[in-house]
Amino acid sequence: MAKPPAGPSRRGGNLPPLSLHVPEPQSRPGDAVDYSHLAISRAGEQPRPDELCEPTETHPLCLDLIRVLDDEHHAVGPWDPQLDPETLRRMLRVMALTRAFDDRMFRGQRQGKTSFYMKCTGEEATSIALAFALADDDMVFPSYRQQGILLARGCSMIEMINQIYSNRADRLKGRQLPIMYSARDYNFFTISGNLATQCPQAVGWAMASAIKGDSRIATCYVGEGSSSEGDFHAAMTFAAVYNAPVIINLVNNQYAISSFSGFAGSERTTFAARAAGYGIAGLRVDGNDALAVYAAAQWAANRARANHGPTLIEHFTYRAEGHSTSDDPGVYRSAREREEWPLGDPIMRLKRHLIALGEWSVEQHEVMDREVADQVRTANKEAEKNGTLGHGLHHPFHTMFEDVYADIPWHLEEQAEQAMRERRIKWPDWEE
């Protein structure tokens, strides 16, 4: 190591020693939970600026929290999107279906039917309410917890399960980790697994739409953890520079696997506040309030469609379950966090709102829960006929070498022949 330059202030001076700050969450396993540091705004009190306003008008909202559903389960304030009860019931149903789907698939993984699964429990509103606010042909660049959008857009659960089981009917030919869907027919981009890469891609798609004089907009999702990636900041810069018609959803579910949001910068300011630095519109929304999410998404979509550019939306929510089937949150966070989360559960809140409106009942909800569970069970049975991971019924062997390029080059043909030879030795009874 090089010698430090000599100087009176280097060592032994009277300056205090520097110290490194390593963020520490408020609670760990077994601890009591104290959420008093969270500034939870009262529902209905946040102003709703005009959709075509200057970006700076939105910036106070980046330090606030847009909320519509109050403690009595009424929709209040200027952000109330005034949806009709039928739309609310449809939204509730997709959220319940998503939760039932997650539960079934999680169990499927535990039963050895696949290698991996990721739930979105507690975060359903952040994707599903947005899907209701956007047009079905607006392009979604998901991170990996937006299965609710596929279900909201009517994607077949059987197809989704085929992908999760990597079976012979998997349209992705068994190549992708479970839940890394791709659904061009539902305007749902192929999920990467590399984090935040989808952000500049969504901006590029939005720029293309603007170049072509189209009317469709793009939206992407990124977690608060992966918003530390350079790709997120590249996306924000390009979105700002070209005033791209894109909605960047930053889902702040408090956790990046085991690392609390402090490691992404939450001790300093909100994630929505980053919008101000880039000079674009920003909103910070109660992500467990489906009406608030809908209203924010609709605001941003209308703005983008009117050529007024991008919006960053921070969805403030809580990851109620582990990161994935490979994770056990019990070893790094207090179990009481979920129970005491001050913004509740998105499905419960929408349910109580509908009941408060006189448009729903506990009995109807129970019937609905049974129906969606049945739907999932039926779809799962159907999908299992096509096989589960590691139990035969895969795609034809040669597909491993297809789609690397449009045409198969000589070196891949040679490698495919090698693989076929190995197959005859390793699995002599293989049938295709």
Partner 1 sequence: MSTEEGPVSLRDAPTRRLGMIEAINEALALMLERDPDVVIFGEDVGYFGGVFRATAGLQERFGKNRVFDTPINECGIIGIAVGMGAYGLRPVPEIQFADYIYPGFDQLASEAARLRYRSAGEFIAPMTVRAPYGGGIFGGQTHSQSPEAIFTHVAGLKTVIPSTPHDAKGLLIAAIEDDDPVIFFEPKRIYNGPFDGYYDRPARAWASHPDSEVPEGYYSIPLGKARIVREGEAMTVLAYGAMVHVAEAVLAEKGVDAEIIDLRTLVPLDIEAVEKSVQKTGHCLVIHEATRTSGFGGELVALVQERCFYSLEAPIERVTGFDTPYPHSLEWAYFPGPVRIGEAVDRLLGTG
Q: Which is nearer to partner 1, 175 or 398 (CB)?
A: 175
Q: Which is nearer to partner 1, 230 or 390 (CB)?
A: 230
Strands 255-256 and 259-260: antiparallel
Q: Which is nearer to partner 1, 76 or 408 (CB)?
A: 408
Q: How far is the CB of 143 from partner 1 (least distance, A)?
A: 14
Q: Which is nearer to partner 1, 111 or 418 (CB)?
A: 418
Q: How far is the CB of 420 from partner 1 (least distance, A)?
A: 19
Q: How far is the CB of 145 from partner 1 (least distance, A)?
A: 18
Helix (H) or strand (E) holding 44: none
DSSP lists the bridge partners of residue 311 as 247, 281
Q: Which is nearer to partner 1, 72 or 414 (CB)?
A: 414
Residues that bind partner 1 (CB under 8 A): 139, 141, 171-173, 175-176, 180, 182-184, 189-190, 192, 194, 197, 199-209, 211-212, 218, 230-231, 234-235, 237-238, 241, 403-406, 409-411
Q: How far is the CB of 147 from partner 1 (least distance, A)?
A: 17
Q: Which is nearer to partner 1, 86 or 185 (CB)?
A: 185
CA–CA gap between residue 240 and residue 234 (Å, rounded): 10
Q: Which is nearer to partner 1, 32 or 406 (CB)?
A: 406
Question: For residue 82, what are the contacts with CB-CB under 8 A and spacing of at least 6?
Answer: 75
Q: How far is the CB of 197 from partner 1 (least distance, A)?
A: 5
Q: What amino acid is encoded at 16 in this protein?
A: P
Backbone dihedral angles phi then psi of residue 188, each to the nearest 5 degrees: -130, 110
Exposed e or buried b per residue across 218-238, where buried means at least 16 C-beta atoms within 10 angstroms of its C-beta: bbbbbbbbbbbbebbbebbeb
Q: How far is the CB of 164 from partner 1 (least distance, A)?
A: 15
Short-list 164, 137, 247, 254, CA closest to 198: 247
∠285-290-292 over CA atoms, to 5°? 40
State the sign of the Cα–Cα–Cα–Cα dihedral 334, 336, 342, 345: positive
Q: How far is the CB of 205 from partner 1 (least distance, A)?
A: 4
Q: Which is nearer to partner 1, 218 or 275 (CB)?
A: 218
The answer to whether 43 and 68 are in contact (CB under 8 A) is yes
In the block, tokens 């202030």 appear at 9
What's the residue count for the chain? 432
∠261-97-197 over CA atoms, to 5°? 40
CA–CA gap between residue 141 and residue 199 (Å, rounded): 7
Q: How far is the CB of 146 from partner 1 (least distance, A)?
A: 16
